[in-house]
Each structure stands twice: as structure tokens, then as C-alpha cells.
Chain A
Amino acid sequence: MVLCLTAVCLICAAILGGVYALTYNPIQAANQKALESSIKVVLPQGGELSDALEAQSEGVSYQYYTLTEGDEVTAYAVKSTTIGFGGPLTLMVGVLADGTVYNTSVLSHSETPGLGAKCTTDEKFTSQWKGFSPDKSLKVTKDGGDVDAITASTITSRAYTLAVSNAVALVKSLASNE
């Protein structure tokens, strides 16, 4: 009895180890591809992209990439995570050196399908980030800001806006240090 259970567990563990080893590289490649394509979406064309860099802002560490043209850093892509309605919401936010949002892209989320999950597809919501001026207020209209929330998904919209706002704040502090 003990022998049988042990044998089954050992065989299963061996199979899992094998599959893990086989799929490790494809999984890494898929994640890398998702990351790269999201960076491409949120940054302007041209220039040279840096490797992943780390920076601290208000006690939270962020991963970011810089885009350099000549000697000047023209834009940043910041990986920014906040808590949405259903769990962590991770965005890639492209910010130009002057604090203008170039574009945003969702890396991962666990929002309600058909409601909060629309933050990846709702044209009205996603397109407003393109060229979001630093003069405008990064808050949803319900809270007195300039971001139009997704219908019936205020919490997701707030989380999304906060993620963008954190990224912009980080870029501003990075840009002023240089």
C-alpha cells in the first residue's frame, strides 16, 4: 500500500520534472515576447532600448527600460503594478521624458471578464492614454480627474489610472535626477 503510493508519486514527480524542463525555455520565450511586444507598443519608434533597469519610488521598486536617441533619454517604459478588482493589475506604461504618456499596455490582469477585463479592449478607455498630457489630472472623472472610466468598472479604472500615475511619477523623478 505505502509502496504503491510512493511509486505513483515518484513516477508522477519524474514526469512533472521532465515536462517542466521541456517547457521551461518556451515559457520564458513566451513571457519575453509578451514583454518585448508590450514595450514596442508603448514607446515611440527609433532610438536604442536599454536592458531592464531597477528604480525605487516611495519604497516600491519598479522595473523600467529607457529609450535613448543620441545621448538623450527620450522615453521610459515602466512596468507598474497595482491592485485591481480581482487581483494584481500589471501595466507597461510608456512615458516621454516630459511626462507625457505615450501609450499603455496590459501585461497581466485578473479582472472580471466582460467588465474590468475591458481595460484591455475598450477602445474608448485605452485610446485616451495615447499622448495623455502631464497637465491633465491622473484620476478618474468620478474622483475629479480627467480619465474616463470604463462603464461599471470604476475600481479597475482607478487601479489602471493609479498604475499610470505611479509610472509617470517615477519617470519625473528619474528625469529630474539626470
Chain B
Amino acid sequence: MSKLSLITKGFIKENPTFVLVLGMCPTLATTSSAMNGLEMGLATLFVLVLSNMVISLISPLVPDKVHIPVYIVVIATFVTVLQFVMQAYTPSVYQTLGLFIPLIVVNCIVLGRAEAFANKNGVLDSALDGIGIGLGFTASLTVIGIVREILGSGSIFGWKFISGDGILAFVMAPGAFLALGYLMVLFNKLAKK
């Protein structure tokens, strides 16, 4: 697989949200606005790239029986580092996403890439794989966030284009399922062509 396709596959062929259907918990919970989706995607991207790199480095040394606990410890370390850094330098982002950051540990995308890719590939390829899947995840979350924000609050990235409220259901959980479902249908229809 060429280096470029490692990065681009995350957008369409192996899109984590619409094709692999991984990491649904943060997808549904954080996409109530475009900005939240984008920030959550970038946070996951950061953890994904670093954990992929470290895991591809240490995987030859790790006995098979304990590889899952070791991977989880590595991932949890990066998530906690990210949490400290966000708290220190971007407190306003931490205010909105703080609750969901620890959940990146159990995001199946991160462990999934460690198991499926990083432990049998080199450091560079693993980093590129992390970037590709992470960007794909970020793009999907942002798109869902944009749709929910337009319908639910009548705004895009906080910029309001109608006065008054939107369809409140789209801001809440039911809207997350609806938006995700219809976007998945649309995406798979377009991707098949």
C-alpha cells in the first residue's frame, strides 16, 4: 500500500464512522455542534497517532498473552497526557469536551488500529495510518456536527443564520441517531459508485 493511500483510505474506503462503524459513543455524544465534533476528532487523532507509533515500536517485545493490557496502558497514558495538556492550555475546550476525553481510552478505533495495523507494521506506516484514520474520524464527526447544528440550532460553527431555535431534537440524543443513520445511508450510496 502506498504512503498516500494510507492517509486517504480513512476518508472513504475505511472511514471509521460510516464504513467501519467504530467509536460510536463519542460520535453520538459529542457531535451536537460542528466545533465539538471537530475538537473531539482532533483529540482522537492525537492519541491515535502517538499510540500507533509507540505500539508499533514495542509490539515485538510484548508477549502475546499480555498485549491487550499493555496497549491499553499505553493508550490510557496518552489520553491522560492529553487531558492534562488541554486543562492547562485550552481550558475552554476542556470545559466542553472534558467529560469525553477519558472515553478515548475505550474508543474501539484506537485499540482497533493497534490490533489491526500498528502491531504488524513499521513506525512510519503506523503513524500515517493513525493520521489517515484520525482525519477520517475528524471529518465524519465534523460533518455530523454540521448537520446537527444546522438543523438543531440554526447555525454553523457557532455562526447563527436564523433567529430563534432550530429543531431541538437534533441537539439531543435522538437527533444524533437520526443524523448518523441518514448520513451513513448517503455516504455508502455515494461511496459505492
Chain A interface residues (CB < 8 Å from chain B): 1, 4-5, 8-9, 12, 15-16, 19-20, 23, 26-27, 30-31, 34, 108, 110, 112-115, 151-152
Residue of A nearest to B84 (CB): A23
- State A23–B66 Cα separation when bound (angstroms): 31
Residues of chain B lying within 8 A (CB to CB) of residue A16: 77, 80-81
Chain B interface residues (CB < 8 Å from chain A): 32-33, 36, 58, 61-63, 65-66, 69-70, 73-74, 76-77, 80-81, 84-85, 87-89, 91, 95-96, 99, 149, 152-153, 165, 168, 171-172
Q: List 25 A-B contacts (CB under 8 A).
A: A1-B66, A4-B70, A5-B66, A5-B70, A8-B58, A9-B73, A12-B73, A12-B74, A15-B77, A16-B77, A19-B80, A19-B81, A19-B84, A20-B84, A23-B85, A27-B87, A27-B88, A34-B91, A112-B172, A113-B33, A113-B96, A114-B33, A114-B172, A115-B172, A152-B168
- State A23–B84 Cα separation when bound (angstroms): 6
> Which residue of B85, B88, B95 is within 8 Å of A108 (Cβ)?
B95
Residues of chain B lying within 8 A (CB to CB) of residue A112: 32, 171-172
- State A8–B75 Cα separation when bound (angstroms): 12
Question: Are A1 and B81 touching (Cβ within 8 A)?
Answer: no
- State A136–B153 Cα separation when bound (angstroms): 32
- State A61–B96 Cα separation when bound (angstroms): 27
**Given A1-B63, A114-B153, A23-B32 contact (CB < 8 Å):** no
Question: Are B91 and A114 touching (Cβ within 8 A)?
Answer: no
Question: Are A4 and B87 touching (Cβ within 8 A)?
Answer: no
- State A151–B51 Cα separation when bound (angstroms): 43
In angstroms, how far is the closest chain B Cβ from the Cβ of A148?
15
Question: Are B171 and A19 touching (Cβ within 8 A)?
Answer: no
- State A31–B73 Cα separation when bound (angstroms): 29
In angstroms, how far is the closest chain B Cβ from the Cβ of A100?
29
- State A108–B99 Cα separation when bound (angstroms): 12
Q: Which 3 A-B pairs have the closest CB atoms?
A: A114-B171, A26-B88, A113-B32
- State A25–B64 Cα separation when bound (angstroms): 40
Residue of B nearest to A21 (CB): B84
Question: Are B69 and A5 touching (Cβ within 8 A)?
Answer: yes
> Which residue of B63, B65, B87 is within 8 Å of A30 (Cβ)?
B87
- State A17–B87 Cα separation when bound (angstroms): 16
In angstroms, how far is the closest chain A Cβ from the Cβ of B76?
8
A sample of 19 more A-B contacts (CB under 8 A), given A19-B85, A31-B91, A152-B168, is A4-B61, A4-B62, A8-B74, A9-B73, A12-B76, A12-B77, A15-B81, A23-B84, A27-B84, A27-B87, A27-B88, A30-B87, A112-B171, A112-B172, A114-B33, A114-B149, A115-B171, A151-B165, A152-B165
- State A175–B192 Cα separation when bound (angstroms): 71
Residue of A nearest to B153 (CB): A114
- State A30–B86 Cα separation when bound (angstroms): 11
- State A27–B85 Cα separation when bound (angstroms): 8
In angstroms, how far is the closest chain A Cβ from the Cβ of B119?
14
- State A152–B170 Cα separation when bound (angstroms): 13
- State A8–B33 Cα separation when bound (angstroms): 38
Question: Are A113 and B73 touching (Cβ within 8 A)?
Answer: no
Residues of chain B lying within 8 A (CB to CB) of residue A1: 63, 65-66
- State A59–B28 Cα separation when bound (angstroms): 40
